[in-house]
Structure 1
Amino acid sequence: MSGESSSDRSASSVEHTTRRGFMVSTVAMGAVAVAESAIAAPSPKDEPIPIIDCHIHLFDGSRPQGAPYVGPGGDSPTIAMPADYRKLAVPLGITGAIKVEASPWVEDNLWALQVMQSDDMMLGLVGNLQPEKPDFAELLVRHAKNPLFRGIRHGTLWGYDLPKMVQDDAFLRGMRLLSDLDLSLDVANPSVPLLEAVVKLNDSVPDLRIIIDHLPRLEPTAATQTAYDNVLRVLHHRTNVYVKLSGVIHRIAGKIVKDLEVHRPKLDRLIDVFGDDRILFGSDWPNSDGAAPLDQIVSIVQDHFADKPRELQEKYFWKNSLAAYKWKVNEDR
């Protein structure tokens, strides 16, 4: 869109020093290089690892038009804005976040970009546009001019049916445009048919970065276990398919389970399937309030990764988010 060729983009890199004290260098094609802070600090092994939260929601149920999603209910607030998230997140070591759309209203893409613009902790928006619609190309190009806009969301939510749409020519044209613009696709909610649809979409648009949301929540049944195992074996080799190890604390047989030892085997298996470079942290705040407060959401995965190599921890908690979303630091905000 800038007139720069793909070869020019792949040959160039842009370095930014963030207000959160670490320098990142992003290179087209997803390569990532990291430099240490110029400020004297303890040895790297003793430094806290910054966290990029790749899955939060923002909404305001007090708007005149309301909002189609206002949290999980109970004690969770019906207003979730960047300042509300910042208060909870900064003490936990979270330095940035990707907002994933929880509204099927097209106009809420703009609302989200507007409320995120003034907070430099907000690194990107995964919006909602329907690729099979006649106006998709126009809307996508327009939204993509804002560097905060990092992709769209689809799957089996809001009445969408990704397993059906991966056979639709108009939808696939939209996916190719998404890929051409170097944007990504988030998919939810996890099921075996959804994972199988991801494989088919990857076959059709291999350069598109696809991010599976909340896969730890998927609890295969006896009837689906074999199909689940088979699709994971296929996904192991799909280098443009990422996974969020999010939704770790979730209901199993109707009960919210917070015991890490129950979740550890599944987490280790998913790390083995997707590898060190394709796993991401996401909290699902404030939807996660229905399962546990944000500090517990963060601590369970910190505990799981505590005995793993620091390099793997850094990839999971923030470095892989650069490759998946190619977010940019906007120094003008």
Structure 2
Amino acid sequence: MSSESFSDRSVPSDEHTTRRGFMKGTVAVGAAAMTEPLIAAPSPQEKPIPIIDCHIHLFDGSRPQGAPYVGPGGDSPTTALPADYRKLAVPLGITGAIKVEASPWVEDNLWALQVMQPDDMMLGLVGNLRPEKPDFGELLARHAKNPLFRGIRYGTLWGYDLTKVIEDDVFMKGMRLMVDLDLSLDVANPSVRLLEAVVKLNERLPDLRIVIDHLPRLEPTAANQAAYDNVLNDLHHRTNVFVKLSGLIHRISGKIVKDLEVHRPGLDRLIEVFGDDRILFGSDWPNSDRAAPLEEVVGIAKEYFADKPRELQEKYFWKNALAAYKWKPRKDLRKGVVE
């Protein structure tokens, strides 16, 4: 367990410092982090902007029972734990992370909370529970007692299909419980069909915070361009729908593209649609290894925002994460996991 607190951590700078406020490092986060800025007013030597990574994965394929998900394969390790992430992330200016659970095993939500608890860099878990199952209410209420548990993920992956279950009364009852517990819903993987389902869900439950994962990866085709434009126009007005500008480096026509200028028009469009207050940073580590190492994933995001106003940079890299997930300062977390 780290003996340092989240508010005491500091990081040396390195050669990847960018133009506007991205010297490697972090800033103080005290007990008032929910109401007070993490960053003091800009000075002639602007303080570095902290980064909250809203999308990482943790798993341990070396457990006796193994793990149903162990990353993207190839050179990526089959074990990804908080210490592994910390080693890579801290030098890049990342001060906290939200873990998204990919395992369908209910007990792995507890495993994730247990491995995250000792590391104050871990700010929250987006769990994997099934709202259409009869025991969902009990499981959600029990897990939500831990302040690290910030919501669940559901979409059109792992055999789930949000586009169908939003017509199910049991599922919608589960979504209403999410609202009552002030939790958020992540959705993935992006498609026009999924975005249309998000619109329907928001119409029915406007108080539910919804986070669309990896939307930059959705490259519309000539066949669905009009539908894509229409659904984005609709999402523009839905203030409780957030988007992760994650997956910035991704495949286009089968080839991994790292050139920011190729991605810039799409990013400009998404910021125009969602505005300054509903965009989030996420790396998708270690899934991102299949496209680029973490330093390049962070680097392209910094490069894109480098000429943007500091206020917008702060919103993207940490402030909007607080609004979307309502994570708590780690010093306020109790020691228990799930009762």
Match of 1:323 in 2: 323
Cα displacement (A) at 1:22: 2.4
The separation in 2 between residues aligned to 1:188 and 1:305, in whole angstroms, is 24
2:37 paired residue among 34, 38, 42: 34
The answer to whether the 8 Å contact 2:39/2:47 transfers is no
Match of 1:259 in 2: 259
**Which amino acid letter does the alignment assign opposite residue 277 of structure 1?**
D
Q: Secondary structure of the equivalent of 1:158?
A: coil
Match of 2:136 in 1: 136
TM-score using structure 2 length: 0.89
The answer to whether the 8 Å contact 2:150/2:325 transfers is yes
Q: Secondary structure of the equivalent of 1:156?
A: coil
The separation in 2 between residues aligned to 1:120 and 1:35, in whole angstroms, is 16
Q: Secondary structure of the equivalent of 1:307?
A: coil
**Which amino acid letter does the alignment assign opposite residue 288 of structure 1?**
S
**Which amino acid letter does the alignment assign opposite residue 62 of structure 2?**
S
Match of 1:22 in 2: 28
Which runs of structure 1 show a deviation greater than 6 angstroms over 4 or more consecutive aligned residues? none
Match of 1:200 in 2: 200
Q: Secondary structure of the equivalent of 2:198?
A: helix
TM-score using structure 1 length: 0.90
**Which amino acid letter does the alignment assign opposite residue 37 of structure 2?**
V
Q: Secondary structure of the equivalent of 1:73?
A: coil
Q: Tell whether 2:296 aligns with 1:296.
A: yes
The separation in 1 between residues aligned to 2:250 and 2:39, in whole angstroms, is 36
**Which amino acid letter does the alignment assign opposite residue 184 of structure 1?**
S
Cα displacement (A) at 1:284: 0.1
Match of 1:210 in 2: 210
The separation in 2 between residues aligned to 1:316 and 1:286, in whole angstroms, is 21
The separation in 1 between residues aligned to 2:158 and 2:148, in whole angstroms, is 23
Which protein, 1 or 2, shows the higher relative CO under an 8 Å CA cutoff with sep ≥ 6? 2
- Per-residue CA shift, 1:166-216, capped at 9, x if unaligned? 111110110010011000000000000000000000011110000000000
The separation in 2 between residues aligned to 1:269 and 1:54, in whole angstroms, is 21
Match of 1:96 in 2: 96
**Which amino acid letter does the alignment assign opposite residue 113 of structure 1?**
L
- Per-residue CA shift, 1:106-143, capped at 9, x if unaligned? 11000000000000000000001111111000000000
Residues 18, 226 of structure 1: alpha-carbon distance in 2 compared, 3 angstrom cutoff: same
Any unmatched runs of 5+ in structure 1? 1-15
- Per-residue CA shift, 1:43-88, capped at 9, x if unaligned? 1762211000000000000111111111111110000000000000
The answer to whether the 8 Å contact 1:283/1:298 transfers is yes
Match of 2:83 in 1: 83
Residues 205, 44 of structure 1: alpha-carbon distance in 2 compared, 3 angstrom cutoff: farther
Match of 2:22 in 1: none
The separation in 2 between residues aligned to 1:159 and 1:19, in whole angstroms, is 43
- Per-residue CA shift, 1:286-310, capped at 9, x if unaligned? 0000000000000001000000000
The answer to whether the 8 Å contact 2:279/2:316 transfers is yes
The answer to whether the 8 Å contact 1:45/1:310 transfers is no
The answer to whether the 8 Å contact 1:166/1:201 transfers is yes
The answer to whether the 8 Å contact 2:6/2:120 transfers is no
- The 5 A counterparts of 1:1-333 are 18-20=7-9, 21-23=27-29, 25=32, 33-34=36-37, 36=39, 43=43, 46-331=46-331
The answer to whether the 8 Å contact 1:280/1:318 transfers is yes
The separation in 1 between residues aligned to 2:73 and 2:44, in whole angstroms, is 41
**Which amino acid letter does the alignment assign opposite residue 181 of structure 2?**
L
Cα displacement (A) at 1:26: 6.0
**Which amino acid letter does the alignment assign opposite residue 28 of structure 2?**
F
**Which amino acid letter does the alignment assign opposite residue 174 of structure 1?**
G
The answer to whether the 8 Å contact 2:99/2:124 transfers is yes
The separation in 2 between residues aligned to 1:130 and 1:300, in whole angstroms, is 35
Any unmatched runs of 5+ in structure 2? 10-26
The answer to whether the 8 Å contact 1:210/1:241 transfers is yes
State the percentage of identical aligned residues: 79
The answer to whether the 8 Å contact 1:26/1:326 transfers is no
The separation in 1 between residues aligned to 2:259 and 2:176, in whole angstroms, is 41
The separation in 2 between residues aligned to 1:42 and 1:200, in whole angstroms, is 41
**Which amino acid letter does the alignment assign opposite residue 87 of structure 1?**
K
Which protein has the bigger strand share? 1
**Which amino acid letter does the alignment assign opposite residue 18 of structure 1?**
S
The answer to whether the 8 Å contact 1:214/1:245 transfers is yes
**Which amino acid letter does the alignment assign opposite residue 19 of structure 1?**
D
Q: Secondary structure of the equivalent of 2:330?
A: coil
Q: Secondary structure of the equivalent of 1:138?
A: helix
Residues 294, 44 of structure 1: alpha-carbon distance in 2 compared, 3 angstrom cutoff: farther
Cα displacement (A) at 1:35: 5.6
Q: Secondary structure of the equivalent of 2:113?
A: helix
